[in-house]
Amino acid sequence: MITTPDIGVYLPTREAMVGEGWTPRRLIDFAVRAERLGYASAWVTDSLASTRVEPLSMLAAAASVTSRLRLGTGALIPAYRDPLNAAHTLASLDLLSRGRLIVTVGGGFPRAADREFAMAGVPMKGRFAWLDEVVALWRTLWSRPRAGSFHGRVVSYDDLPELPPPHTPGGPPVWLAGATPSALRRTARLYDGWLPYPPDPAEFADGLAVIGEYAGEREVTPALMATVLVEPSPGRARERLDAYCDAFYGRPLSYLETFQLYVTGTEEQVVERLRAFVDAGARHILLRLAALDADDQFDQLERLAFLLEEAGGRTEGTPSPNVKA
């Protein structure tokens, strides 16, 4: 049983569009610096309506300048892409990164994602069935290059292309982002990992128990997304988080923290808060750094690496930062 989690960090592909001091090169440098500091993975978010660097392009660029860092989507919305082209891109990215890709997918949020789904021409109603079948299509293309056809209830192709085989046999692992009762059951039955962001460790533990109940002998990797800011002053921390939430979502922290995990304080306080989720079962912790400007992002990247090293853990394959359970 693994008791020390891997620690990943989100590449600031949207922050680079709204913050100061960013250039395309600095985004690449961020991935390089994360690997050198010992982070286990780098992640990207996805959107059609919010300006950011396209996530799979970002991961391809990061793959070219790193050698150990796992590369993940957290989460990719398959509805925003043609399913066959997405399968080809993901297989190629896994091949070019030599098997470092993790694909987390999501179905978007009602109301918040309505505009984006309309842009993509995919109805919100029935989006989860569509999502699951697209993932099944991808796995067919990745594992059976001459499958010929694919026929589901909502996704159907009489003629499938032959794709270059991914580096990972059968294709990269596919995780699901979501924590509704339905999402938990679907994670258990169909996906390789789970990526939620609940603010309460007990909620995380309860969700993981449901997945365990339905998964049977299947192994499902439990991960956690946390928006983190090292800031010792409580008043200053909330001020900075509020500004981040407004820039990122156009919503106040007081609303978002009711259902998303935000962690702030001194290094020791951040460690203790994350430790509660490790105790609840988290085995990958993905840090989104709550800073907009480039210098602030790099500062938080360094400070969190220091605190994780002080916690006594290690990342995958290297004696460096992690949270110790």
Is 315 within a domain?
no
**CATH number, domain with residue 68:** 3.20.20.30
Query: In the numeric block, which tokens belong to residue 195?
Result: 């990526």
pLDDT in tens, 128-171: 999 999 999 999 999 988 889 999 999 999 999 999 999 999 99
Nearest to 181 by CA among 156, 159, 213, 149: 213
Question: What is the reported pTM?
Answer: 0.93
Residue with tokens 């394959």: 317
Is the Cβ–Cβ distance between 44 and 106 less than 8 Å? no
Q: Domain for residue 320, yes or no?
A: no
Tokens encoding 317: 């394959």
Cβ count near 136 (within 10 Å): 15
pLDDT tens per residue across span 12-25: 999 999 999 999 99
Report pLDDT digits (tens) over 189-205: 999 999 999 999 999 99
The model's pLDDT over 252-277, given as tens digits with 9 standing for 90+, comes to: 999 999 999 999 999 889 999 999 99
pLDDT band at 316 (very low <50, low <70, confident <90, very high): very low
Which residue from 255, 179, 265, 199 is spatially nearest to 228, judged by alpha carbons? 265
Task: Share the mean pLDDT of the chain.
Answer: 91
Assigned domain for 14 exists: yes
What is d(CA 294, CA 174) in angstroms, rounded to the nearest whole number? 30
Residue 128 in domain = yes
Backbone angles phi, psi at 323, to 5 degrees: -95, 130
Residue 131 tokens, joined: 């999502």
Which of 145-157 are b and which e, b meaning 16 or more Cβ less than 10 Å from the residue's Cβ? eeeeebeeeebeb
**142 close to 92: Cβ distance less than 8 angstroms:** no
Residue 50 lies in a domain: yes
Distance CA 274, CA 278 (A): 6
DSSP state string for 191-211: -SEE----S-HHHHHHHHHHH
265 is a domain residue: yes
How many domains does the chain fold into? 1
CA distances from 97 to 27, 64, 94 (A): 18, 7, 5
**Residue-range definition of the domain harbouring residue 176:** 6-310
Residues 6+ apart with CB under 8 A from 243: 292
